[in-house]
Copies of this chain bind each other. A is one copy, B any other.
Amino acid sequence: MAKVRVHNFHISLDGYSAGETITLDAPIGGAERLFGYFDGRFIHGVDAVDAPITLDHALTSTWGQGIGAEIMGRGKFGPQTGEWTDDDWQGWWGDEPPFRTPVVVLTHHRRDPVSFDNGTSFHFLDATPEEALARARELAGGLDVRIGGGPSTVRQFLAADLVDFMHLVTVPVTLGAGVSMWDGLAEVQDRFTVESATSASGLTHHFWNRTRA
């Protein structure tokens, strides 16, 4: 059975995974320090960048392996809220969105799909986590589905017990405010086997695998 996976999900020491308000100038809501250690170019492989292959880079590179579709919250796609009034907005990523697969964007507001030459397409859906996952599985062609965030979206899928694997990264910074990763998820770890390792950069990588019944 294809898995539902979370990758490279960064969390501050005080439990936040995004800032409080997403704007065009602050795509992660002021929580940029969370990603000061993260080189996203490695999501496509340890060979994607001419730089040393560190533990952090090697683990970052598992992001796309065997992934056939992503599910993301609307805030990851863009800063608009409410009705879609600006259809020119096609995400933060320009002509080459890094996903290279279909992406389900969760929104209460109807919008036609958007496609790019590199294999990325965005499909807007008003749906429960279960419904969104069913649609993503159709789009994934038998491959795994990634839950791409933000934190509220990951939290919904965790609460619904739909996540098989999570690669979390605790970052040695405090933010003081933001969107909590863990709010309402007390004891969620009991459903998983958890392994952790710390890299030379000070990041701690956590591998959560759902315990099989």
A residues adjacent to B (C-beta < 8 A): 1, 3, 5, 45-48, 50, 52-55, 58-59, 61-62, 65-67, 143-144, 165, 167, 193, 195, 197-200, 205, 207, 209
| B195–A197 CB distance below 8 A | no
Closest to A47 in B: B66
CA distance A4 to B198 in the complex (A): 26
Question: Can you name 15 extra interface pairs (CB under 8 A) apart from A48-B66, A55-B59, A55-B207?
Answer: A3-B47, A46-B62, A47-B66, A47-B144, A53-B207, A54-B207, A54-B209, A58-B58, A58-B59, A58-B167, A58-B207, A59-B59, A61-B61, A195-B200, A197-B198
| B209–A53 CB distance below 8 A | yes
CA distance A76 to B47 in the complex (A): 25
**Ordered nearest first, which 3 A-B pairs have the shortest CB separation?**
A47-B66, A52-B209, A45-B65
A39–chain B nearest beta-carbon distance, Å: 14
List chain B residues, Cβ under 8 A from A205: 55
A101–chain B nearest beta-carbon distance, Å: 13
**Copies in the assembly, this chain:** 2
CA distance A44 to B199 in the complex (A): 24
| B197–A55 CB distance below 8 A | yes
A9–chain B nearest beta-carbon distance, Å: 14
List chain B residues, Cβ under 8 A from A197: 55, 197-199
**CB within 8 A of A47: which of B45, B65, B167, B193?**
B65
Q: List 19 A-B contacts (CB under 8 A).
A: A1-B50, A5-B53, A47-B66, A47-B67, A48-B66, A52-B207, A52-B209, A53-B165, A53-B207, A53-B209, A54-B195, A55-B59, A55-B197, A55-B205, A58-B58, A58-B62, A61-B65, A197-B197, A197-B199
List chain B residues, Cβ under 8 A from A46: 62, 65-66
CA distance A54 to B67 in the complex (A): 17
A14–chain B nearest beta-carbon distance, Å: 24
CA distance A1 to B62 in the complex (A): 23
